Amino acid sequence: MASAIKRATTSSKPAPAPAAAAPGKPGLEISPLAVPFPTIPPIGGVEIATGRAGFYKHERDDLVVFSFARGTTCAGVFTRHKVGSAPVDWCKRHLGAEDGGQDVRALVVNAGCANAFTGKAGADAARRTASEVAKRFGCRQRDVMLASTGVIGVVLDDRKIAARLHEIEAGLNADNWARAGQAIMTTDTFPKGSYAECDIEGHTVRIAGIAKGSGMIAPDMATMLAFIVTDAAISPAVLRALLGLHVRTTFNSVTVDGDTSTNDTALLFATGASGAPRIGRVGDRRLKDFSRALDQVMLDLAHQLVRDGEGATKFVKVTVDGAASPASARKLAKSIA
């Protein structure tokens, strides 16, 4: 079965934002380039819940928790900023361990506080958050991934997250993708999601993702969070290779204002719930359709980030033909953009 995005691809014509959507910050107008949030069916092996931790003064969800089945694998790519945030450092350390990404059980995302430039106090807050979630889900701290976005220079008040974990756990279900996309927004004006399917040896495999990021989007990702989940069974090493391959032509190929950030995070999770055979080798031919579908999801999300750039009224795609190498083509395209 050919892979395909499960909504109309983005076009040059503005589309209305979803009826339930509202800008992440009061007073913002929804981008004229906004696209509707897609219909995302349940992805086996993952449940999601959102809640209000109170990082914003106004009423809105600002906390998302993903709960993953045992054996879920994970890989990530992160900011190249010289000073990463505490959540970025946490994820890089544990995913980079010898057996990192083999059994990730939860992802916690908060909006409103970036927990960046916060030193040891910020690192301690990240560790305590992972510890509280690990107790709740019966796993190790290292199997909890973290991500934050928002105000820089303020230490995360992890007590706000801990106080909401009980109600968050009670609200877990497989249909909260749109709510999650809304909850991670900061200066975004519409939630961003994408969905695709592919075939692996007769098994239908699903891939879904959400992302946020409005201003400060530049080469090598900036003020951008992206979380992609599939029910395929794929080893962490293969996930790393796929993510590294496709991030270059998707998230790392967009620019809005040329700035970079401390909190860039893109995480790819594979729950293995589809029943498709496990893939543990990068060169496995069975990855062909999956790789294509993953690229579609990542490119779709990257395009939506551009459509929601602060003050954006035009969506421009630069195509370079005849360049000596992909690197030179990227350099030329970015000089124009």
Residue 58, classified by CB atoms within 10 Å of its CB into exposed (0-12), middle (13-18) or buried (19+), is: exposed
Q: Which is more confident, 214 or 249?
A: 249
Provide the terminal-to-terminal Cα distance of the chain, rounded to the nearest Å.
36
Domain extent, residue 320, equals 4-336
Residue type, 151: V
Average pLDDT over residues 44-50: 99
Q: What's the number of domains the chain is made of?
A: 1
d(CA 93, CA 307): 33
Q: Is the model's pLDDT at 5 over the cut of 50? A: no
Dist. CA 199–CA 2, nearest whole Å: 7
CATH number at residue 244: 3.60.70.12
Which of the residues 149, 187, 223, 250 is marked catalytic? 223
User: Is there a contact between 66 and 50 (Cβ–Cβ < 8 Å)?
Assistant: no
pLDDT digits (tens, 9 = 90+) for 312-328: 555 566 666 766 666 66
pTM here is 0.87
- How high is the pLDDT of residue 260? 57
Determine how many CB atoms are found less than 10 A away from the CB of residue 29.
Answer: 8
pLDDT digits (tens, 9 = 90+) for 216-244: 444 344 368 999 999 999 999 999 999 99
DSSP secondary structure letter of residue 142 = G
pLDDT bucket at 115, cuts 50 / 70 / 90: very high
223 is annotated as an active-site residue? yes
pLDDT value at 203 more than 70: yes
Structure tokens at 289: 């359709």
Percent of the chain exceeding pLDDT 90 equals 71
**Tokens of residue 198, six digits:** 């592919």
